[in-house]
Amino acid sequence: MSYLEHFGLTEEPFSNAPVSRFYFESPQHEQALVRLTHAVSRMRGLSVLVGDIGAGKTTLARRLLDALPEEEYEAALFVIIHSGVTASWLLRRIALQLGVENPAQEKLALLSQLYQRLMHIHEQGRKAVVLIDEAQMLETRELMEEFRGLLNLEVPERKLISFVFFGLPEIERNLRLDPPLAQRVAMRYRLEPLNADSSRSYVEHRLHTAGSGRNPFTSAAIEVLHRVSGGSPRIINTLCDNALFEAYLAGETTVDAPRIEEIARNLAFAAGATSGGNGAPALTPAGTVDLSEVDRYLESLKS
């Protein structure tokens, strides 16, 4: 018997993979989605959503992408996984994701191709929207200037492209590298950590979605989960996944507070551990990768 069968689950409830059906619509996530949808539907240009590590930004980005009807939008989700990307590389990737075939190497020719593609999308009565996840990795003024230039592509009373940046609060520092771009931000929203009630609802939602008919976590265990995680969904997932597995190995069907505390200590999530904002543990950033690897990864997102 696996630990899933032990707890009456049909799938892993606390994976940190961004699976859309596990999306938890807390009040603030609902508010963020409403505001972002409004901004892109009105083609406001640039919107920014920030949150600390593990706050659910990537899940929200995918949720927004899924919520944009294909008949109304030419939408793409672009993940930045390397801080060393160049402006020319980024421009080509955006062009490819919006349907430009064989993007030119020379910048002026590429911009002409992109403008023609955006005009075609506009003439179809559709809207071009690009969602940029991990946008805090866009660390140069050259990159910010490129986005400003793209936002200048417009027809009377409407921009031809809208961007939504998702990332850590450092995004604000990057935007200040190009003050005119910072002034173009039409909407800002910050995802705060889950409060105690939302943390409980989050755990119950994940369990229910995974097929469980009951909540094996005691009330005291939930309280410790919230305190140790700082309300970070990612850390809640990690703690819960480990707790269920350890309870299974011990032959127990209930997860109590001492087990959560023990796991938190083992994972260095206890109070006083190295942390990011709002008490959530800091995570080590990804190492350097070759841009060709980034290309292959981005292509895999389309499959």
Q: Could you report the per-residue pLDDT of 178-220, keeping only the tens digit for each?
A: 999 999 999 999 999 999 999 999 999 999 999 999 999 999 9
DSSP symbol at 21: G
In this predicted structure, what is the pLDDT of residue 54?
87
Identify the pLDDT of residue 157: 82
- Residue 284: the pLDDT is 32
**3-state DSSP call for residue 52?**
coil
**pLDDT > 70 fraction of the chain, expressed in percent and rounded:** 89
Range list of H helices, the chain: 3-6, 27-41, 57-67, 87-97, 107-123, 141-151, 170-175, 179-182, 196-209, 219-229, 233-249, 257-266, 291-301
| Gap between the Cα atoms of 119 and 126, Å rounded | 10
- What is the amino acid identity at position 202? Y
pLDDT of 241-294, one tens digit each? Answer: 999 999 999 999 999 999 999 999 999 875 433 333 333 333 333 333 344 444
Which is more confidently placed, 286 or 163?
Answer: 163
In the chain, ranges of CATH 3.40.50.300 domains? 27-193+286-301
Among 1-5, 38-42, 91-95, 289-293, the least confident range? 289-293
- Under 8 Å between Cβ of 94 and 28: no
> Would you put residue 241 in left (φ > 0), alpha (ψ -120 to 50) or beta?
alpha
* Residues 219-239, mean pLDDT to the nearest whole number: 95
In this prediction, residue 40 carries a pLDDT of 96
What integer pLDDT is reported at residue 291 of this predicted model? 42
CATH 1.10.8 domain residues, the chain: 3-17+194-271
Instruction: Tell me: pLDDT of 296 over 70.
Output: no
Range of lowest pLDDT (94-98, 137-141, 259-263, 291-295) = 291-295
End-to-end CA distance of the chain: give it in Å, rounded.
Answer: 33
pLDDT reading at 36 higher than 80: yes
Report the CATH number of the 3-17+194-271 domain.
Answer: 1.10.8
pLDDT, tens digit (0-9, with 9 covering 90-100), for 104-131: 999 999 999 999 999 999 999 999 999 9
Out of 3.20.20.140, 3.40.50.300, 3.40.1000.10, 3.10.180.10, which CATH number does the structure's domain 27-193+286-301 have?
3.40.50.300
* Between 277 and 98, the higher pLDDT residue: 98
Q: In this structure, are residues 232 and 54 in contact, taking their beta carbons and an 8 Å threshold?
A: yes
Give this prediction's pTM: 0.83
| pLDDT for 270 | 55
Is the pLDDT assigned to residue 302 strictly greater than 90? no
